Chain A
C-alpha cells in the first residue's frame, strides 16, 4: 500500500517555542492531507485539511494562527505548532487519502511534549 511518512516521531520542546511536523507521501501525490490530534485514550480529532497550493481549511475551534499548515508540494505538508504550551502536548497524526471512497493512509504520528 501507499506510504505516508511523518517526522519527527517524538519531540520535546520548551513552552513558547515552535515545533514543525512534516508529513510526506512517499509513493503517491497527495493534493489533500489531513491533520489530526489525539489525546490519550481518545479518538482522532480532525484539526485541518491541508490543500496543496492553497490555504488550509481548519475545523471549528482550531486556531489557524497557532497551528500553521503549509502544503507547498504534492508530497509534503507541514504542521507548525507556534508558541507551544503544555496543553498542546498531544499525539499529532497526518493522513493522505488516495481518492474518494478509498482508504486513507496515515503517518506514524508525532508525540509532542511541551515542558
Chain B
C-alpha cells in the first residue's frame, strides 16, 4: 500500500546547528504536505505546509523542501534550540478533496546543549 515514511527514526543535533529531517512519500498524486511537531504528552502542532505546485517554502527558522521527482520531503530547522527537541511527523493529504491525513512514522529530534 502507499505510505508516508521517514528515513531516520532519531536525530541528535548540537544546539545552534541546523537540522534536516527527511520524509519519503509514495503517493505521487498527493498534493499537500504538512510538518507537525509533537512534544511529549501533547497533540501535534502545525509547523509548516507546502502544496505540490511548490518546491520550497520558508517559515520562521524552518524550511520545507519538496522534491516530487523522487517523492521526498524535508524539514530544515535553522539554529536549533533546546525547545526544538520533539518528534516531527510529516503528513500527506491525499487528492480529490479528502481532508484525511496520512502520517509518517516520525523522527525524534534531540538537541544537545
A, B: real partners: yes
- Give me the interface of A with B, judged by CB distance under 8 Å: 1, 4, 6, 32, 34, 42-44, 46, 49, 91, 93, 95, 97, 99-109, 111
A44 to chain B: closest residue by CB? B103
Contact A99 to B43, CB < 8 A, known contacts A43-B89, A43-B106: no
B104 to chain A: closest residue by CB? A43
Q: Is the CB of B100 within 8 A of A100?
A: no
In the complex, whether B31 has a CB less than 8 A from a CB of chain A is: yes
Contact with A along B19-60 (1 / 0, CB 8 A): 000000000000110101000011111100101000000000
Q: Is the CB of A34 within 8 A of B41?
A: no
Q: Is the CB of B41 within 8 A of A111?
A: yes
Q: Is the CB of A109 within 8 A of B103?
A: no
The 23 sampled A-B contact pairs (Cβ below 8 Å) are: A1-B46, A6-B43, A32-B99, A34-B100, A42-B106, A43-B103, A44-B103, A46-B100, A91-B41, A95-B44, A99-B99, A100-B99, A101-B32, A101-B93, A102-B49, A103-B49, A104-B46, A106-B36, A106-B44, A106-B45, A108-B42, A108-B43, A109-B43
